[in-house]
Amino acid sequence: MEYRVEHDSMGDVKVPADVYWGAQTQRSYENFRIGTEKMPEEVIYAFAVLKKAAALANLRLGKLDEARCHWIGQVCDEIMEGKWMTQFPLVVWQTGSGTQSNMNVNEVIANRGNELAGEVLLHPNDHVNMSQSSNDTFPTAMHIAAVLETKRRLLPALERMILELTGLEKKNIGVMKTGRTHLQDATPITFAQEISGWRSMLEKSKHMIEMAMREVAELALGGTAVGTGLNAPKGFAEAAAQAVSELTGETFVTAENKFHALTAKDELVFAHGALKALAANLMKIANDIRWLASGPRCGLGEISIPENEPGSSIMPGKVNPTQCEAVTMVAVQVMANDTAIGICASQGNFELNVYMPVCIYNYLQSVRLLADALDSFRANCVSGIRANREKMDENLHRSLMLVTALNPYIGYENAAKTAKKAYHENISLKEACVSLEFLTAEQFDEVFHPEQMV
């Protein structure tokens, strides 16, 4: 392999000749050979947005000339188009401020920009990093990435699932079934009512996630090293936030208190809490569906779900609720990520949080997993749910909890005696009630109407 010599404030470093990164990136690449988790591409994209926004803000404020702003912007556009992602090789497990990834971006933009310009115009610190510090750019990239991925990827997937459930609900209006509480028989509901509970859970999750995004849309850019704004011109924070908004089409604002913006990660804790709530809801929905589809002969069997692949290497003909299992595993991972993010946010010292790379890595993984799981679950399971009306009707009329309809006529204690007699003697509620002489057969038929219990 051929090398070239780059230098930074610590001296000369050999760098592969065919890469755009420089000395600081190379030092990190060599010093942190930990794991396989790379800095997420979503963070690199966000860095390209903020570097272009910072250049535009510096141009508007008279700090940067038009030529340098142009070349910085052109390279940022290339990165946003997906080019050069191989030029960002650093792992998550690096400095907790993300400084080395910030410098990775600065070096790539400077070297690629100089190549495009045909002359050495850009310095990674003096021009690409102008009016910035890693301490305010990395949290800014975190927030940009979180907002864009949540809004562009997760919320549309969530809306698609809500629409799917809405359609399934409409198809099952009036389909009676037994309700269940504590995994025991309960009073009747319709299948549409049961589905409406699932739909409403996801609508609530969507609302909470959207609410959280308003907080995450506050940017630290302009706080520089410790929150004082040192070396950033007056108006830079506001101009940069406006430029980020223009470049992304989303509304971003500068954080009111930069000391808070650099050291606290509570907005991401709050936002990921909404993701955890969604994960909890998906866990419940997936569990309900696989319980209802259990069988095919020895379970509840009240619904059928798509048969997508063989379920056993030894039991011929077995089919399992695999989409439900995938969703519940995703939910577990999201809940674990929430713990990591909460611990990250609690560990800032003085003017800076130094757990930022792992914090945003976990947040973005949760967004990615939830979005993918929602689409997979919707397309490969929920869209194919069919009610087994005969089984629902059979279970409904075998349920002893229909006796609740008799409470107003024979009282709670006599109704309990009726249910217990029917259960122990394996007879119908009507037979038990008449045998106990609480009602005549004619009176029972007159007041016992399960379809009116919903």
- Judged on CB neighbours under 10 Å (0-12, 13-18, 19+), 385 is buried
- Judged on CB neighbours under 10 Å (0-12, 13-18, 19+), 259 is middle
Length of the chain, in residues? 454
Q: Is 312 part of the annotated catalytic residue set? A: yes
What's the CA angle centered on 380, arms 377 and 385, to 5 degrees?
Answer: 90
- Whether the Cβ atoms of residue 258 and residue 223 lie closer than 8 Å to each other: yes
- Whether the Cβ atoms of residue 265 and residue 345 lie closer than 8 Å to each other: yes
Q: Is 133 part of the annotated catalytic residue set? A: no
Cα→Cα distances 129→61, 103, 179, 364, Å: 15, 8, 61, 25
Which among 7, 200, 312, 346 is annotated as catalytic? Answer: 312
- Spell out the alpha helix ranges (H) of 172-292: 191-216, 236-248, 258-263, 266-292
- Whether the Cβ atoms of residue 54 and residue 130 lie closer than 8 Å to each other: yes
Quote the longest CA-to-CA distance of the chain: 102
Which H or E run contains 176? strand 176-181
Kindly report the three-state secondary structure assignment for every residue of 101-141.
Answer: HHHHHHHHHHHHHHHHHCCCCCCHHHHHCCCCCHHHHHHHH
Query: Residues with catalytic annotation?
Result: 182, 312
